[in-house]
């Protein structure tokens, strides 16, 4: 069950003009709760002017082997008008305490031998840095190909960390950097990475059919283009993992299905259940939150997956889903923040 605790900021490292890495110290008695898999994220919560704001940020540090973590490091990039990222870049200082949810997310790679690859854009490098560094440190035979794109070298997050990783594992880490707004040395690609370019580039870089897992992370356009390129190259959907960081509002319009006049949701959460009427137009997460403020969520936008619940009974329609893989929806999972009842009774289990 996801929980918030107050953690102290142990370091603030400026990465670029518009991004920082925050290191959070985890007290001994909380370390088990903050054990994480490489690729997971943390939701940070802040209340200002009576408004609660939550944002998820991926952990960039490698997952410790065996021991629970004593620190957690996350990358934060400034988003135009972003309520949390502006605060993080301008105000958060050493020694401050932040409200931090226990790790969540299924965009993960438990270390295993094999060949893996990632296509990332912008701050999408953050979880992949944790995934690649954990994998290369723990699996002496594993190989990783990292294709990253950014606007310019100056705007690229974790430039040094990635260069260090390449120095440490020159044979097993293949690194390709694509800058969209900067001329690069001869031989290196520049310009935007889209489906067409990736379709040509990927087979030239590595044997696409021998890759055990693909990790796509970044803005919607890049992830979608990379997924279509891989599907076009006959990569099985089960080998493609994706995490989207930014989605323009208006992408993926909601399906139109008529809602029943009166409906109720029964939800099980942290071992306790309840049944409540759903108000017209609200999502099932909103209904549950009015009665159980401890219900898990972060983005409320169908992107982070924190509000995932198992649909035990009834039917729902989701406005949009950028977080659940098709196997999860087929298995019966839904995003509560995007779900609206289609049947008069709906039952959700947040504990499964």
Residues lying near ligand FES in the complex (CB under 6 A) are found at 297-307, 323, 335, 337
Closest residue by beta carbon to ligand FES: 337
Nearer to ligand FES, 74 or 202 (CB): 74
For residue 178, the minimal CB distance to ligand FES (Å) is 29
Nearer to ligand FES, 128 or 299 (CB): 299
In this structure, the number of other CB atoms found within 10 A of the CB of residue 94 comes to 11
For residue 320, the minimal CB distance to ligand FES (Å) is 9
Nearer to ligand FES, 165 or 247 (CB): 247
For residue 307, the minimal CB distance to ligand FES (Å) is 3
For residue 336, the minimal CB distance to ligand FES (Å) is 6
Nearer to ligand FES, 216 or 337 (CB): 337
Helix 220-232 crosses helix 195-205 at what angle (to 10 degrees)? 60
In this structure, the number of other CB atoms found within 10 A of the CB of residue 256 comes to 6
Nearer to ligand FES, 198 or 223 (CB): 223
Q: What one-character DSSP code corresponds to residue 177?
A: E
> At a CB cut-off of 8 Å and minimum separation 6, what does 30 contact?
5, 7
For residue 299, the minimal CB distance to ligand FES (Å) is 4
Q: What one-character DSSP code corresponds to residue 104?
A: B
Query: Could you tell me the end-to-end alpha-carbon distance of the chain, in angstroms, rounded to an integer?
Result: 10
The angle subtended at Cα 177 by Cα 12 and Cα 232, nearest 5°, is 120
Calculate the alpha carbon distances from 76 to 42, 57, 100 in Å: 11, 6, 14
Go through the chain and tell me how many residues it has: 352
Nearer to ligand FES, 178 or 334 (CB): 334
Q: Are strands 272-277 and 264-269 parallel, antiparallel or unpaired?
A: antiparallel
For residue 98, the minimal CB distance to ligand FES (Å) is 19
Distance from C-alpha of 252 to C-alpha of 248, rounded to nearest angstrom: 9
């Amino acid at each position: 069950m996801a929980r918030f605790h107050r953690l102290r900021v142990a370091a603030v490292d400026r990465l670029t003009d518009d991004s920082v890495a925050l290191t959070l110290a985890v007290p001994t008695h909380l370390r088990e709760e903050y054990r994480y898999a490489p690729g997971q994220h943390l939701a940070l919560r802040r209340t200002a002017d009576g408004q609660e704001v939550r944002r998820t940020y991926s952990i960039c540090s490698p997952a410790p082997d065996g021991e629970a973590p004593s620190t957690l490091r996350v990358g934060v990039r400034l988003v135009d008008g972003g309520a949390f990222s502006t605060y993080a870049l301008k105000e958060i200082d050493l020694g401050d305490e932040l409200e931090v949810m226990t790790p969540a997310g299924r965009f993960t790679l438990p270390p295993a031998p094999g060949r893996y690859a990632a296509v990332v854009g912008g701050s999408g490098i953050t979880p992949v840095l944790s995934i690649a560094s954990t994998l290369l440190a723990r699996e002496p035979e594993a190989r990783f190909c990292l294709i990253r794109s950014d606007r310019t070298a100056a705007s690229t997050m974790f430039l040094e960390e990635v260069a260090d990783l390449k120095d440490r594992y020159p044979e097993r880490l293949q690194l390709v950097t694509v800058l969209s707004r900067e001329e690069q040395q001869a031989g290196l690609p520049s310009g935007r990475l889209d489906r067409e370019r990736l379709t040509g580039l990927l087979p030239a870089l590595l044997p696409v059919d021998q890759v055990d897992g693909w990790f796509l992370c970044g803005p919607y356009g890049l992830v979608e283009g990379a997924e279509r390129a891989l599907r076009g190259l006959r990569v099985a959907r089960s080998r493609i993992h994706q995490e989207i960081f930014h989605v323009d509002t208006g992408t993926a319009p909601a399906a139109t299905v008529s809602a029943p006049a009166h409906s109720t949701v029964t939800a099980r959460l942290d071992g306790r259940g309840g049944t409540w009427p759903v108000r017209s137009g609200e999502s099932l997460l909103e209904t549950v939150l009015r009665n159980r403020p401890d219900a898990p969520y972060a983005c409320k936008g169908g992107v982070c997956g924190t509000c995932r619940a198992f649909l035990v009974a009834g039917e729902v329609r989701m406005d949009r889903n950028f977080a659940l893989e098709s196997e999860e929806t087929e298995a019966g999972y839904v995003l509560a923040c995007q779900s609206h009842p289609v049947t008069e009774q709906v039952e959700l289990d947040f504990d499964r």
